[in-house]
Structures are given as structure tokens and as C-alpha cells.
């Protein structure tokens, strides 16, 4: 059971809409909350336990998870059990192979690149030529990555899931009149047997109207979009308690 929540803040104000929703949602549920500066969250001075949830940026939360003896989970953004919903070619490889291919004289198809094992180790990027890889120079060749076929989504949506139940659906990019297919969305959630207790799962609508999986996102640090604050706090709590068990 969560006894207290520390929310990342700056000058006494949550530094992100999601952090504000966490603060508001937990307070509405009468769970004590403190607003805490990032450096205080990172320097190990807070009395953290498995019953003290930290809401903040992904690296801040991972530092807190590590401090109390838990291990940050490995990313699982495109679960193999949901391959039927990918709707595009997906390859798992390493950054060295990608660099080798794109620096060769052989023409490459445009693609998307994102980290495989570490959540948000770098933002997903679109690759059109070798110069697009320069922003990843600090990452070693053995960094595991996901390479996906370049497709254009007409609209993008996130479903928020707590203990297998959809508690919200948010549009976050593209044409908000292009709705995801309800049956596809619910079927993918049912088929995600290894899902965390709290998570977000993103779907895109292609130009032909087909709904496909963009990615799943772990709930320990997650953009809230239009989800209400109480359900957002429930999602964070469900995932934290699962990690702390």
C-alpha cells in the first residue's frame, strides 16, 4: 500500500502536466504528497521505501527504484506476443549494424529507430540518411535497437490500462476524427499477457483506415495526455506496487 508520494517539482510547482496530475490525483485520494526538487530526488537523501511512490521523469523514477533495491524493468515496447498488430516490418538489431548499413554505398529505405532494452534511452528518430544518426554518437555499437518500417500515421492514440481494464483513451497526434478500431484495440490488450499492471499502449491509424500498434509504454513513468488525474494516479500506483512486490 502506498503511504506517501514524492512528485518531481521546480520552485514548488510540478514541472510537467503528468506530474501535476499525479500530485492532484493522489491528493484527491487522500494519499500524502510532497513536491520535491529533481536534485533532491536524485541525490539519495529522501527516505524512500517500497511504500513511497516517486512520480517524475523516467530517469528520476528509475533512480528511486534503484535506491530502494528494485530493478528498473527492461523495455518491452513492441512485445513479440503482439506481433500480429504491428502492421509493418520490425527488426531488432544493434546500433553498430544500423551504422554499418547506413554508411555503406547501398541505398537504404527510410525507417524509424528506437531503443530496444532501455525505456526512452533516446527519443525515437526517423532515418532518411546517415546524417540522422549523428545524434546517437554517444551510444555504443552494441546498443540494442528496434528498426521499423517508415509509415505515416493519420492519427495516434493512447489507451491507458490498469489491471487489464481500459480507464482512458487519448488522442495525441494527427487527425482526431480518425478513430482507432475498437475491436483491434481491445483485442491487442487482451492478447498482451505479459502486460504491466499499469501501462499505456499506443495505436495509429494508417491512411487506409487500418489500426496498428505503435508501441506499449511502461506505467512507472508515463505521459498522461487527457487522462483524468485520479485514474492516472491509480495507474502509477498499480505499476509501482507491482514492481515493489
The domain segmentation of the chain, as residue ranges, is 1-72+221-245, 74-86+151-219, 89-149
181-198 pLDDT, tens digit per residue, is 999 999 999 999 999 999
Q: Please say whether the dihedral angle defined by the alpha carbons of residues 190, 193, 197 and 203, taken in this order, is positive or negative.
A: negative
Task: With beta carbons less than 8 A apart as the criterion, state whether 21 and 222 touch.
Answer: no
**1-72+221-245 fold:** Rossmann fold (3.40.50)
From residue 116, alpha-carbon distances to 29, 122, 144, 148, 235 in Å are 35, 10, 5, 11, 23
Mean local confidence (pLDDT), 208-232:
97
End-to-end CA distance of the chain: 10
32-91 pLDDT, tens digit per residue, is 999 999 999 998 889 999 999 999 999 999 999 999 999 999 999 999 999 999 999 999
Report the distance separating Cα 32 and Cα 11, nearest Å: 19
Mean local confidence (pLDDT), 200-210:
97
Here the cell at position 166 is 481500459
Report the distance separating Cα 192 and Cα 182, nearest Å: 16
On the question of pLDDT at 114 being above 80, the answer is: yes
Residue 44 pLDDT = 85
Domain range 89-149, CATH architecture: 2-Layer Sandwich (3.30)
On the question of pLDDT at 157 being above 90, the answer is: yes
**H or E stretch including 125?**
strand 125-127
Q: Is 74-86+151-219 assigned to CATH 1.10.390.10?
A: no
On the question of pLDDT at 107 being above 80, the answer is: no
Mean local confidence (pLDDT), 91-120:
90
On the question of pLDDT at 105 being above 80, the answer is: no
Pairing mode, if any, of strands 52-55 and 125-127?
Answer: unpaired
Contacts of 218 (CB under 8 A, 6+ apart): 73, 75, 76, 119, 196, 199, 239
Report the distance separating Cα 36 and Cα 31, nearest Å: 16
Task: With beta carbons less than 8 A apart as the criterion, state whether 197 and 216 touch.
Answer: no
Report the distance separating Cα 216 and Cα 115, nearest Å: 13
Task: With beta carbons less than 8 A apart as the criterion, state whether 203 and 156 touch.
Answer: yes
Mean local confidence (pLDDT), 162-179:
97
On the question of pLDDT at 92 being above 80, the answer is: yes
Q: Among 67-71, 154-158, 170-174, 227-231, which is the least confidently predicted range?
A: 67-71
Residue 31 pLDDT = 98
Residue 147 pLDDT = 96
**pLDDT band at residue 103 under the 50/70/90 scheme:** confident
Amino acid at each position: 500500500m502506498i503511504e506517501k508520494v514524492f512528485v518531481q517539482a521546480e520552485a514548488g510547482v510540478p514541472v510537467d502536466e503528468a506530474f501535476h496530475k499525479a500530485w492532484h490525483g493522489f491528493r484527491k485520494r487522500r494519499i500524502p504528497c510532497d513536491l520535491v526538487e529533481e536534485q533532491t530526488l536524485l541525490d539519495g537523501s529522501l527516505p524512500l521505501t517500497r511504500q513511497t511512490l516517486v512520480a517524475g521523469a523516467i530517469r528520476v523514477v528509475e533512480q528511486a527504484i534503484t535506491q530502494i533495491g528494485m530493478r528498473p524493468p527492461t523495455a518491452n515496447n513492441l512485445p513479440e506476443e503482439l506481433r500480429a498488430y504491428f502492421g509493418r516490418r520490425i527488426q531488432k538489431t544493434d546500433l553498430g549494424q544500423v551504422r554499418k548499413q547506413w554508411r555503406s554505398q547501398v541505398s537504404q529505405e527510410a525507417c524509424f529507430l528506437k531503443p530496444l532494452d532501455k525505456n526512452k534511452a533516446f527519443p525515437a528518430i526517423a532515418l532518411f540518411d546517415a546524417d540522422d544518426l549523428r545524434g546517437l554518437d554517444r551510444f555504443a555499437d552494441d546498443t540494442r535497437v528496434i528498426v521499423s518500417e517508415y509509415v505515416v500515421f493519420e492519427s495516434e492514440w493512447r489507451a491507458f490500462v490498469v489491471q487489464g481494464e481500459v480507464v482512458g483513451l487519448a488522442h495525441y497526434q494527427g487527425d482526431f476524427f480518425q478513430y482507432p478500431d475498437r475491436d483491434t484495440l481491445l483485442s491487442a490488450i487482451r492478447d498482451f499477457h505479459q502486460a504491466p499492471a499499469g501501462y499505456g499502449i499506443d495505436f495509429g491509424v494508417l491512411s487506409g483506415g487500418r489500426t496498428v500498434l505503435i508501441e506499449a509504454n511502461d506505467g512507472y513513468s508515463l505521459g498522461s495526455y487527457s487522462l483524468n488525474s485520479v485514474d492516472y494516479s491509480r495507474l502509477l500506483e498499480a505499476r509501482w506496487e507491482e514492481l515493489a512486490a
